[in-house]
Amino acid sequence: MTTYLEKLPACRATIRVELEPDLVRTERRKIVTKFAEKARIPGFRPGKIPGGVIEKRFRKEIEEELQDQLVRLGCREGVAKEKVELIQVLKLNDVELRDDDSFTFTAELQTAPEVELPEYRGISVTVQRLEVTDHDVEHDLEHIRFNLAKTVEVKDRPAQLNDFVLVDVKTEMDGVPVGDVVPEAAHLSSIQGAWMPLGENSVAPGFGGHVVGQGIGEVREFDLLVSADYPVKELAEKTVHFSVTLLGLMARELPEWSDELASSLVGGNGGMAELRELVRKRIELRQEEERRQEMTTQILEHLDSQTTFELPASILAEETQRQVNQIVRRGQMEGASNDELMGQKEDIIRYASTQAEVSVKTSYILQQVAEKEGIKAEEGEILEFCMNQAKQAGMPLKKYLNRVKKSDMIGAIYDAIIRAKTLDLLRENASVAESDRAPHQCNLPEHQTA
């Protein structure tokens, strides 16, 4: 076999391959034999059909499979010879099976990038130290109490932040309904009889401050200058007139802590002491996971800054589309309309493209580290991974394994395990410095300044 490979920009290459007649005849015989073993032709016993009969009956199918096999063989050996990793064959040119049984073709290839790794052991990272204070415990206990709150109807006071309000809302721009001026914001034109939590940024940034103090049955009129980062960009930095009627009001009623309430939550008899200890352990686990994430982010940012290489266009396009699909699904789950999503199409594609570049580049860097370190996914690790996934999905292991087999998920599982083990290695070998913990940001009303 004779091969000539030329590397091109953007992780592409062209390869010219010529396979000698003896090799082509050998491959043809293998294919004919395979067809003969499976063929059923009247007058012949299975497996005893002469090769000439098989070639005559299945000539087209044999030629197609022969070409496919020879192209794969030629590309595989050609890139191995040049130490290039093949991703996919993009296009075939000048395919010819000659009278002397030699076979030639030219192929355009998408190849993996050549990554020159920097030193990846001993990367310097700075993470917050593990430290759980009594204040942290009380803070989490207050969140639990907040989640246990009941909502009660309120009639004897005006609206406050974090109440639930029942409102009618109408919006206009220069006397015209907002939806007629900006179709992407049609959902704001008229909100009838809707319950919503009253936050500072409910409906639009600054909305809540104008409703605070409003009484049931009262109508308030006010103008808001929409912020520059508002999701519907056509409304950004525009003045919108609001008319808000408060129809109803409900507030959270928080329970008081007691040993009885605490025991009902933890399922034991230790009361508040036992609950506090469980909360402390939960915070410790959360802080440990935060440290892992901080280390991972800094390590990957360092490796990204120290490496430069081209990315395969086809892989980048696939990842960009995956990111777009994910953003759209998330938007739909959060209630965004198709019109709103289409209005943000350019921003979504731009963001997805940026994220795809980071994701693909990171994948190739980690792949190179794994290969250099000889990191592999063992059979037991794959089984453990599947057991955990089956447990999370709430299905029997056997059923999950059948899904893995049918969906051809084993490759993705293998890659996920290798990625996790590679990140473990990088974190274990990092040079770690610790910093004081940053003040905790909280969205509970009484903790806004905590």
What are the tens digits of pLDDT across the range 411-430?
999 999 999 999 999 999 99
Confidence of residue 445 (pLDDT cuts 50, 70, 90): low
What fold is seen in the domain 2-111?
Answer: Alpha-Beta Plaits (3.30.70)
Q: What is the pTM of this model?
A: 0.73
- Kindly tell me if the per-residue pLDDT of 398 is higher than 50: yes
Determine the Cα–Cα distance for residues 1 and 17; give it in Å rounded to an integer. 7
The structure tokens 């808001």 sit at: 224
The answer to whether domain 150-253 has CATH 3.10.50.40 is yes
pLDDT exceeds 60 at position 450: no
Residue appearing with tokens 């063992």: 378
**Comparing 158 with 77, which gets the higher pLDDT?**
158
Least confident range of 39-43, 118-122, 275-279, 373-377: 39-43
pLDDT at 121 over 90: yes
Q: Which residue has the tokens 């034999």?
A: 33
What is the location of CATH 3.10.50.40 in the chain?
150-253
What is the full DSSP assignment across 345-407? HHHHHHHHHHHHHHHHHHHHHHHHHHHHHT----HHHHHHHHHHHHHHHTS-HHHHHHHHHHT
pLDDT band (50, 70, 90) for residue 448? very low
CATH 3.30.70.1050 in the chain is located at 2-111
Q: Return d(Cα 392, Cα 388) in angstroms, integer.
A: 6
What is the structure's pLDDT at 295? 97
pLDDT value at 312 more than 50: yes
Name residues whose C-beta falls within 8 Å of residue 264's C-beta, 6 or more positions apart in sequence. Answer: none
Least confident of 198-212, 249-263, 301-315: 198-212
Dump pLDDT digits (tens) for 13-49: 999 999 999 999 999 888 888 888 777 777 777 777 7
Calculate the average pLDDT of the chain: 90
Please calculate the CA angle 431-435-440 and round it to the nearest 5 degrees: 135
Average pLDDT over every residue of 395-417: 91
Q: Left (φ > 0), alpha (ψ -120 to 50) or beta: where does 11 sit? A: left
The per-residue pLDDT for 18 is 92
Confidence of residue 152 (pLDDT cuts 50, 70, 90): very high
Q: What is the pLDDT of residues 157-216, one digit of tens each?
A: 999 998 999 999 999 999 999 989 888 888 888 889 999 999 888 888 889 999 999 999
Q: Which residue has the higher pLDDT, 40 or 399?
A: 399
Question: pLDDT at position 449, please?
Answer: 37
